[in-house]
Amino acid sequence: MAIIRHPDIRRMLMQMRSQVEAMRALAYSVAAAHDAAARHPDAAQRAQNQAYVDLMIPVVKGWSTENGNTLSYLGVQVFGGMGFVEEAGAAQFMRDARITTIYEGTTGIQANDLMGRKIAREGGATIKSVIGMMEQTRAEVSKQAGPAFVALAAALGRGIDALKQATDYIVANYGKDVRSVAVGAVPFLRLMGIVSGGWMMARAALVAEGKIAAGDADPFYPAKIATAHFYAEHAMSEAAGLAQEVVQGGASALALDEAMF
């Protein structure tokens, strides 16, 4: 039997597919904003786009490179015992991916930049603006029919709530107890990446639905909606737990005396 018929293989392949699509879409969104920040004729629009770029660059770097490690690991796992055989190539991808979280300044540095310089220092102004854009997309998704869009709207709503909870905690507490709050920097970066990825997938699903409604029979479009549906039900489920880790995890991480290590 072909291994793709195994449900767990399908789960891993869908995880790889959906995460890669979400990461690419977020990177393209930031790249487009970077161009607008440099070339838009309106100064206010240039400033708004630059703020979005500044906020999202550590997310694109940190979340994407960490995900690259996870997905290359899954690529080996899909092959089973053959995954470590060099002729398959999967093991080399995993080794190559490992350096990316170090090339990019280490994930912790990206996360601290996101939390301290991009959120706490400006009182969360830019991220709250981005959350507003996410909410606009969720409202559009909620108008669509079908199980995929119902799942997308619900998951994006929960993800936005988790992101708000964590952001409010950072803004309120970073100046009071920076060490405890900074414990949650990497979990927050991951939360930001997952929810931003869900936002991108929801936007893509809306475009795909519009193409289908216009009579385009390209199978790419229903596949895009199905992939977004998977992302909503699998990737987005982590958001609430990550928010809890950000808000409640500081004290326990710092509880032991340094000599215990």
Tell me what the mean pLDDT of segment 157-176 comes to.
97
Reported as a single tens digit per residue, the pLDDT across 8-66 is 999 999 999 999 999 999 999 999 999 999 999 999 999 999 999 999 999 999 999 99
Mean pLDDT, residues 222-251:
98
Per-residue pLDDT, averaged over 122-136, amounts to 97
Locate CATH 1.20.140.10 in the chain: 3-109
- 159-193 as b/e, with b when 16 or more CB fall inside 10 Å? bbebbbbbbebbbebbeeeeebbbbbbbbbbbbbb
pLDDT of residue 90: 86
Under a CB-based contact definition with an 8 Å cutoff, are residues 158 and 213 in contact?
A: no
Q: How confident is the model at residue 103 (pLDDT cuts 50, 70, 90)?
A: confident
Nearest of 175, 168, 194 to residue 246 by alpha carbon: 168
Q: How far apart are CA 212 and CA 157, in angstroms?
A: 25
What does the pLDDT average to over 98-109? 88
Task: Read off the pLDDT of residues 6-16 as tens digits, 9 standing for 90 and up.
Answer: 999 999 999 99
Question: Is the predicted pLDDT of residue 80 greater than 90, yes or no?
Answer: no
Res 91: pLDDT: 87
- Using DSSP's 3-state secondary structure scheme, residue 116 falls into helix
Let me know the angle formed at the C-alpha of 60 by 55 and 65, rounded to the nearest 5 degrees: 145
pLDDT at 105 over 80: no
Percent of the chain with pLDDT over 90: 90
| For residues 115-141, average pLDDT | 97
- Catalytic: 209? no
CA-wise closest residue to 154 among 135, 130, 138: 138
Instruction: Report whether pLDDT(215) > 80.
Output: yes
Single out the catalytic residue among 66, 86, 87, 104: 104
pLDDT of 83 reads: 60
Contacts of 119 (CB under 8 A, 6+ apart): 55, 126, 127, 167, 170, 171, 174
d(CA 191, CA 59) in angstroms, rounded, equals: 10
pLDDT at 86 over 80: no
Does the structure show a pLDDT above 70 at 214?
Answer: yes
Say whether pTM exceeds 0.75. Answer: yes
- Domain 3-109, what fold? Butyryl-CoA Dehydrogenase, subunit A; domain 3 (1.20.140)
pLDDT of residue 87 exceeding 80, the answer is no
Quickly list H helices, the chain.
7-39, 43-79, 90-98, 100-103, 107-112, 125-142, 147-173, 178-182, 185-213, 220-234, 239-248, 250-253
> How would residue 217 be classed by pLDDT, with cut points 50, 70 and 90?
very high
Supply the pLDDT for residue 75. Answer: 92
